[in-house]
Structure 1
Amino acid sequence: MKIIFAGTPEFAAVALQALHVAGFEIPLVLTQPDRPAGRGMQMHASAVKQFALAHDIEVLQPLSLRLDSKDPERAAQAAAAHARLLATDYDVMVVAAYGLILPRSTLDIKPCINIHGSLLPRWRGAAPIHRAIETGDLETGVTIMEMEEGLDTGPMLLMERVPILPGDTTASLHDTLAALGARMIVDALRARAAGTLHPVPQPDAGVTYAAKIGKEEAALDFSLSSAELGRKIRAFNPFPGAHAEVNGVVIKIWGAEALDAGSDAAPGRILAADAQHGIVVACKHGTLRLTELQKPGGKRLPAAEFLKGFPLEGLSLD
């Protein structure tokens, strides 16, 4: 079986590696254009591109696949990519976190199969891992699905569930689901070749949408409950990183523990900031113990180490 692979971040690169190791022929990879990243804002190739180049796989990086784009450059790149797909001998396209919409013109060439990091139809869309943690879901998983023009609406081929553990962050859950999705796509393609893969329509009930994460969401609002804030901190680790301000200084908060004990203090008031009690903050309901923090230009530190260079006693978080 010959595969064209379309994906961009590490989640996709893990699947691409699994397909390569499993012996599938991969004549072409599609990935997003290089982007500036890091403090120096140097151009950076995606994880998928890096793997492809390291294994002598041809890489295509169009700005768009829409032949009807109103932007002349995007339309030209889409036309070139479409011609390249038509000229390539392949059986199926595997898509994982590609970041570009596949138009009907692409979907009509050959079957397209997607690796999606949720239990569809829950959390269709761009940020299923973040939203599952933020909302307090007890489980998630991976769905392998056939692609159609709707947003993650296609028939399901395989699904596996995993629990969301109390300490899971988006970083840890991402790694779990990336490994699961990589194994599942290999299983799915082998089952497809054997004729034992049977699509099942998604149910109409239970549809939710995982909107893309905005940086503005990472500012913590201590008028929420400690449980809600704890979930947000885990959901926004590593991106965009939950934060709050202390006397105008933005502090990143990477770890926290929701406590049941309440307080009459105003939300955001720091109730304790010492080695014995840690950093405890008043919330609308309950209190929040901060366990890992980072000041501007500094390293991520446990609370006790952070307090040595940044005392917080008697202050408030905004």
Structure 2
Amino acid sequence: MKVIFAGTPEFAAVALQSLHEAGFEIPLVLTQPDRPAGRGMQLQPSAVKQYAVSKGIEVLQPLSLRMDSKDPRRAEEAKAAHQRLLSTPYDVMVVAAYGLILPRSTLDIKPCLNIHGSLLPRWRGAAPIHRAIEAGDTETGITIMEMEEGLDTGPMLLIERVAIEDSDTTGSLHDKLAALGGKMIVEALNKYRHNQLEAVVQPEQGVNYAAKISKEEAALDFTQSAVEIGRKIRAFNPFPGAHGTVNDVHIKLWGAELVDASGPAGKVLSADAQHGIVVACGSGALRLTQLQKPGGKRLPAAEFIKGFPLEGLRFS
């Protein structure tokens, strides 16, 4: 069975590795163009490209797959990519966090299956893992679905659930779901080629849009409840990193736990070795367990306050 794979970040690279190690023939990989990254802003290949190159798999990186793009360069690259797909023998395309919309012209060539990091239709869109934690969901999972032109609206083929633990961050949950997605797509393709998958139409109720995470969302509002703020801290770890502001200094908050305390919203109730860093919220309070000042490293609370005393200050 020949599989063309389309994906970009680590989540997708795990699936690509699973397919490759399971013995599927992968004649071509699509991934987004190299992007500037790091302090030197040097062009960096995606995680998917790195894996594909290491295994000698051909990589294609078009800016767009829309041949009707008004940008001449994007339209030309899309046309070239379309011709490459037409000239490549394959049975199915697998898509995971690709980052580009697949137009009808691509979807019509061969069946396209998507590895989606949520229990559809609960979270459709770009950031289902973040949004599930932020919303306080108790479970999530992976849905293998058939792709159509709508945003994550296609029929579901395979679903597995994963509990969201109180300690889960987007980083830890991402790793669980990436591993599960890799396992499930191998299972799905093995069943697919033997016509053992049943397509189930998504219900119309319970649909939510998981909008892409913006850096502006990372600024915490301590008039919210401790429960809400704690979820945001976990949801925005490792990106973009939730932060609070003390005396005009943005302090990133990487870990927190609920405590039974109260006070004016944002007030640092304690910041010592005995009680830790406790901050009052709109209702309840949080004990901050891991913090980072600008230009510094992530530090446990006890270490952080040695270089940045917080006693009596207030997060605004």
Distance in 2 of aligned mates of 1:89 and 1:260: 62
Are 2:133 and 2:164, in contact at CA under 8 Å, matched by a contact in 1? yes
Deviation per residue, 1:250-301 (Å, 9 max, x gap) = 11100001224322x2x11111000001001111100111000001111101
Aligned to 1:37: 37
For 2:27, what is the secondary structure of its paired residue?
A: strand
- In terms of mean alpha carbon deviation, does 234-243 or 190-199 score higher? 190-199
Aligned to 2:231: 231
Deviation per residue, 1:131-172 (Å, 9 max, x gap) = 000000000000000000000000000000010000000000
The question of 1:246 aligning with 2:251 is answered no
Distance in 1 of aligned mates of 2:72 and 2:26: 30
Are 2:261 and 2:280, in contact at CA under 8 Å, matched by a contact in 1? no
Consecutive unaligned residues of structure 2, counting only runs of 5 or more, are none
Distance in 2 of aligned mates of 1:47 and 1:61: 13
Decide which of 298, 301, 316 is 1:303's aligned counterpart: 301
The question of 1:203 aligning with 2:191 is answered no
Distance in 1 of aligned mates of 2:38 and 2:221: 28
The question of 1:119 aligning with 2:110 is answered no
> Aligned residues: percent identity?
77
**TM-score, structure 1 length as denominator?**
0.99
Aligned to 1:145: 145
Aligned to 1:291: 289
Aligned to 2:47: 47
Are 2:223 and 2:281, in contact at CA under 8 Å, matched by a contact in 1? yes
Deviation per residue, 1:11-32 (Å, 9 max, x gap) = 0000000000000000000000
Distance in 2 of aligned mates of 1:43 and 1:153: 34
What is the Cα deviation at residue 193 of structure 1?
A: 1.2
Aligned to 1:106: 106
Superposed counterparts of 1:212-223, under 5 Å = 212-223=212-223
**TM-score, structure 2 length as denominator?**
0.99
- In terms of mean alpha carbon deviation, does 243-252 or 7-16 score higher? 243-252
What is the Cα deviation at residue 80 of structure 1?
A: 0.3
**AA matched with 1:142:** I
The question of 1:96 aligning with 2:88 is answered no
The question of 1:257 aligning with 2:249 is answered no
- In terms of mean alpha carbon deviation, does 36-45 or 90-99 score higher? 36-45
For 1:194, what is the secondary structure of its paired residue?
A: coil
What is the Cα deviation at residue 39 of structure 1?
A: 1.1
Distance in 2 of aligned mates of 1:51 and 1:269: 47
Distance in 2 of aligned mates of 1:259 and 1:127: 29
**AA matched with 1:290:** L
Consecutive unaligned residues of structure 1, counting only runs of 5 or more, are none
Aligned to 1:275: 273
Distance in 2 of aligned mates of 1:242 and 1:92: 40
Give the root-mean-square deviation of aligned CA atoms.
0.6
What is the Cα deviation at residue 198 of structure 1?
A: 1.2
Structure 1 residue ranges, 4+ long, deviating more than 4 angstroms after superposition: none
Distance in 2 of aligned mates of 1:260 and 1:51: 47
Superposed counterparts of 1:20-35, under 5 Å = 20-35=20-35
